[in-house]
């Protein structure tokens, strides 16, 4: 009898398991994350029923099943996804409010502005105030004063009291002018058209010395005697007290004419005088052989250009 009861109990349990398996086959549609499922087994008969409410009676044993099973171990990390779009700029932060930095060191002192300085080195005794028409320290005549401080290098222009002894050309044919400084100077620009155009535009009071040096440099390269052309002859001239004379720019020559035209040392009326200013005012083809000169005529003189090989009068100046 005992054996039979044992067998009967095993049968009931087996029957319960079969019922559970059948139930699971029916409830496979239960979604993951559902709550626990409760079955009630009758303690006496072994009959198993599903408890919809989740509770069993005192005569039953409760069997709870989680349809999701226990959580398995974490899987390996997947690959990183693509970067998302950049976020909007954040608002500007508030100022730190720190103290102002220390004042930096003072910069170097700039060059002082050039101011006209009246000099008392003129007159027969060399102690008189220099004025237009006064005898200059070089023995010539003061013809221009820089009362507006337009020239940094000097304050006065002094002109010689007479022309050089003979008329002279502006340049000779020495082959050291032009683009490669290999062309004849009387038919070529001193440098290039563009460079001579700049020189042509510098008619100002301060350019005569520079222009004269340009002409002399080209002729010195050809070992030409300075006595054979105007700028060279001017550089050779020495008065009693000075040897720094040069051929004036056109503007300096005009100032000389205007200051002396009514005096004893006036330029020869209607004569043509060389300036050190080359002419490059139209084109590179038409003007390489021309230089600026002034005709001593009328209230303001006449502006002319002539071939550099032409022999014209020469009146020279110095500055201080």
Render pLDDT for 189-219 as a digit per residue (tens, 0 to 9).
Answer: 998 888 888 877 766 657 899 999 999 999 9
**Can you tell me whether residue 48 is helix, strand or coil?**
strand
26 shares its domain with 155: no
| Segment holding 252, helix H or strand E | helix 250-260
- Whether the Cβ atoms of residue 156 and residue 119 lie closer than 8 Å to each other: yes
CA distance 283 to 41: 122
Residues in CB range of 307: below 8 A, 6 or more apart: 186, 289, 290
Residues 10 and 153 in one domain: no
295: helix, strand or coil:
strand
Check residue 38 and give its pLDDT. Answer: 77
Of the ranges 2-16, 60-74, 227-241, which is most confident? 227-241
Q: What is the pLDDT of residue 28?
A: 38
How do 48-51 and 290-295 pair as beta strands? unpaired
Check residue 256 and give its pLDDT.
Answer: 97
User: Could you tell me the pTM of the whole model?
Assistant: 0.65
Q: Evaluate if residue 159 carries a pLDDT over 90.
A: yes
Indicate the residue among 42, 65, 88 that finishes a domain. 65
Question: What is the three-class DSSP state of 216?
Answer: helix
- Whether residue 115 contacts residue 121, with contact meaning beta carbons closer than 8 Å, is answered with no
Return the pLDDT at 24.
Answer: 43
Q: How many domains does the chain have?
A: 2
d(CA 156, CA 242): 14
58 Cα distance to chain centroid: 100
Structural domain boundaries enclosing 268: 141-319
Q: Are strands 272-278 and 48-51 parallel, antiparallel or unpaired?
A: unpaired
Residue 175 sits in the same domain as residue 292: yes
Q: CA 231, CA 212: separation in Å to the nearest integer?
A: 5
The answer on 57 and 157 residing in a single domain is no
Pick the closest to residue 317 from 214, 246, 240 (CA basis).
246
Q: What is the pLDDT of residue 205?
A: 59
**Residue 309: what pLDDT?**
98
The dihedrals phi and psi of 128, each to the nearest 5 degrees, come to: -85, 155
Q: Judge whether residue 128 has pLDDT over 80.
A: yes
**What pLDDT, in 10s, does the model give residues 7-27?**
344 444 444 444 444 444 444
Same domain, yes or no, for 52 and 157? no
- Does 17 share its domain with 153? no
Distances (CA, A) of 83 to 77, 86, 167: 17, 9, 90
Hey, what are 217's tokens? 């440099």
Determine, yes or no, domain membership for 309.
yes
Residues 209-235: b if buried by 16+ CB within 10 A, e if exposed: bebbebbbebbeeeebebeebbbbbbb
């Amino acid at each position: 009898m005992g054996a039979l009861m044992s067998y009967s109990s095993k049968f009931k349990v087996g029957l319960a398991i079969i019922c559970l398996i059948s139930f699971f086959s029916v409830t496979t549609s239960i979604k993951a994350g559902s709550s626990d499922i409760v079955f009630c087994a009758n303690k006496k008969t072994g009959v198993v029923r599903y408890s919809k409410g989740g509770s069993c009676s005192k005569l039953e044993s409760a069997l709870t099943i989680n349809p999701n099973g226990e959580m398995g171990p974490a899987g390996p990390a997947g690959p990183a996804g693509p970067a998302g779009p950049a976020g909007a700029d954040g608002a500007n932060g508030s100022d730190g409010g720190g103290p102002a930095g220390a004042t930096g060191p003072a910069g170097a002192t700039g060059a002082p502005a050039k101011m006209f300085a009246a000099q008392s080195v003129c007159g027969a005794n060399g102690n008189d105030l220099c004025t237009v028409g006064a005898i200059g320290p070089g023995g010539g005549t003061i013809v221009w004063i820089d009362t507006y401080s337009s020239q940094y290098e000097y304050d006065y222009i002094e002109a010689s009291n007479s022309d050089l002894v003979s008329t002279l050309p502006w340049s000779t044919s020495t082959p050291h002018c032009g683009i490669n400084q290999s062309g004849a100077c009387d038919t070529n620009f001193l440098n290039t058209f563009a460079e001579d155009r700049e020189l042509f535009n510098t008619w100002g009071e301060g350019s005569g010395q520079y222009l004269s040096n340009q002409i002399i440099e080209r002729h010195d390269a050809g070992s030409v005697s300075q006595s054979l052309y105007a700028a060279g002859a001017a550089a050779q001239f020495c008065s009693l007290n000075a040897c720094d004379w040069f051929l004036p720019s056109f503007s300096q020559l005009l100032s000389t004419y205007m200051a002396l035209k009514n005096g004893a040392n006036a330029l020869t009326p209607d004569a043509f005088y060389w300036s050190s200013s080359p002419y490059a005012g139209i084109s590179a083809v038409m003007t390489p052989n021309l230089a600026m000169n002034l005709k001593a005529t009328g209230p303001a003189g006449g502006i002319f250009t002539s071939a550099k090989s032409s022999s014209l009068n020469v009146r020279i100046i110095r500055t201080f």
